[in-house]
Amino acid sequence: MLKEAGERVTTDGYLCEASEKVQAVVDALSKLEDIESKFQDDQVYSLEEVLATVKSSESAVVAAQSSMSLARMFIQMKLLEVRRFSSGPGSDAASRFSEFHTQIEIANKRLV
């Protein structure tokens, strides 16, 4: 009982951190989409504006990819760890980590 309570506290911390990492991915993608939406209107831009926007877009892509890699690696490592826990906290956390993994894959498809 005490072991399971400790595992639940641990998994709650892991899930909170994973949620923050997934949110960082979503935020990075939103920033990229905001930058790229600048070209959606019919306005004509100067070469300097286009180059600056492309440079910002490239930086946002790198940030999104980095966030995605960090989140993916964290989720995989913690998923392996929680699978060793008791069935209650371990399976609950494994299910949530699977959901986070799905969100990361959806974000990756958006990025591509």
Q: 93 and 11 in contact (C-beta within 8 Å)?
A: yes
What does pTM read for this prediction?
A: 0.83
Encode pLDDT of 2-32 as tens digits: 888 899 999 999 999 999 999 999 999 999 8
pLDDT at 49 over 90: no
Q: Residue 4, exposed/middle/buried by CB under 10 A (0-12, 13-18, 19+)?
A: middle
- Summarised one tens digit per residue, pLDDT across range 67-78 is 999 999 999 999
Q: Which domains does the chain have, with CATH numbers?
A: 2-111 (1.10.132)
The string over 49-82, giving b where at least 16 C-beta atoms fall within 10 Å of a residue's C-beta and e elsewhere, is eeeeeeebbeebbebbeebbeebbebbeebbebb
* For residues 81-109, average pLDDT: 91
C-alpha radius of gyration, the chain, whole number = 19
